[in-house]
Every structure is written in structure tokens, then in C-alpha cells.
Amino acid sequence: MKVLMVLTSHDQLGNTGRKTGFWLEEFAAPYYTFKDAGADVVLASPAGGQPPLDPVSDLPDFQTDYTRRFSADPAAQQALANTVKLGEVNAADFDAVFYPGGHGPLWDLAKSRTSITLIEAFERARKPIGFVCHAPGALRHVKAASGEPLIKGRRVTGFANSEEAGVGLTEVVPFLIEDEFQALGGHYEKGADWQPFVIEDGLLVTGQNPASSEGVAKVLLKLLL
């Protein structure tokens, strides 16, 4: 069982002068959920090497058992520091793909032709694809074999408008996932702000927020086992 995890390489939070990147919990929880199930996990990013960590996600308030485990795991830190370039990845080599969030993906993975093509390859091969929090934004330009948006007519979730407002970034992000998914014809659903909420629609699995990251990983594993 081989799982690909795709992280952002984007580190600028719009024009705010603040840093962004991937959200630590959304990487750590799925990473260990996959590893503990015996999966071979490969990490990739558009630029390769060390993906940018959203510094806010490393603050004490956002630490979990998984993030603490990562901070004490030199092997995992080494793997993260040496992600492979996304353009060198072949979907045929993997059984599933998972995209952690953080705001970064809204800028790079959402419009990366390499990422779009990769997701489409997994989908066409009928392999599970998972996304959490802002990472579902990577589905924005992904097409089904029919040429229609992949999420059209499908149940999906992702970071809610109310959650984006809660972190004060509604006017900063390039698009709002909830609005964009509805515009694309997706059946967007959400749970309570900041609470675990995972949607499984066939082999497409999406989670609403950081609290949903372990849940998405567990559903992906269920689909693989």
C-alpha cells in the first residue's frame, strides 16, 4: 500500500506580508495514520524539498498528539525536508493520494497544471483521492472524463466561509472554497465550525477543517483495505 501526500510550496499569505504554507496537524495526523497502518508514504510538493510550514499552525494552541509526535521524529522531519518534485511523480506508482491543507494550496495547487493532471490520473484509475481544509481548493480546475468539473453533482466539503471569516482572511484568499464549489455545481456541505466533518462520495473524500484531517485519512485507508 503506497500513499502519496502532496503539500504546497506557496508561502505568502496574499499581500499581507505574512507567511503561510501547509498546516502542521493536517500533515502530521494523516502521515501517522497512514504509516501506522503500514503504508509506504511518499511526500511531494511543486518545488520539491522543504515545503513551507504555516507558522501559526506550529503555535502551542494548535499542537496535538500527532504534531508532538512529529516534533520528536527526526525521520519524519527528514522526509518532509526532502519532498520529491510533483512533476516527477507518476500516479501509477501509488494506491491513493492525500492533500493536506493550510492556505498555501489556494495559490499554487489550485492552478498547478501538474497537480490537476495528477488528480485526474488518480480519478481515472479509480484510486481514492483525499483533501482536507483548504486542500479541496486543488479540485477547482480538475475535470471529470466528461469534461465537466470533477465535483459537479458530487458531495464535497472544505473550509467553510464562516471559518474563513473566523480567521479574518475572507478578503485575502484568492477564492472561497464554499462559494467556488457551489458555483462549480458541487453539493457543498458543512458541519459546525472547527469540528470534524468528512464527506465520502465514491472515491472522493473531503474534510472541512484541521479537525477533519485524521478522519479523511481513515476513510482513505478504509477504501484501500
Mean pLDDT of 190-201: 98
> What band does 10 get if pLDDT is binned at 50, 70 and 90?
very high
Mean pLDDT of 92-100: 98
Q: Is the pLDDT of residue 211 over 90?
A: yes
> What band does 47 get if pLDDT is binned at 50, 70 and 90?
very high
Give percent of the chain above pLDDT 70. Answer: 100
Q: According to the model, what pLDDT value does residue 3 have? A: 98
The Cα–Cα gap between 143 and 165 comes to: 29
Mean pLDDT of 92-113: 98
Q: According to the model, what pLDDT value does residue 83 have? A: 98
Q: Could you give the domains of the chain?
A: 2-224 (3.40.50.880)
State the SS3 of the chain: CEEEEECCCCCECCCCCCECCECHHHHHHHHHHHHHCCCEEEEEECCCECCCECHHHHCHHHCCHHHHHHHCCHHHHHHHHCEEEHHHCCHHHCCEEEECCCCHHHCCCCCCHHHHHHHHHHHHCCCCEEEECCHHHHHCCCECCCCCECCCCCEECCCCHHHHHHCCCCCCCCCCHHHHHHHCCCEECCCCCCCCCEEEECCEEEECCHHHHHHHHHHHHHHHC
Q: Is the pLDDT of residue 52 over 90?
A: yes
Q: According to the model, what pLDDT value does residue 225 have? A: 84
pLDDT tens, position by position, 135-193: 999 999 999 999 999 999 999 999 999 999 999 999 999 999 999 999 999 999 999 99
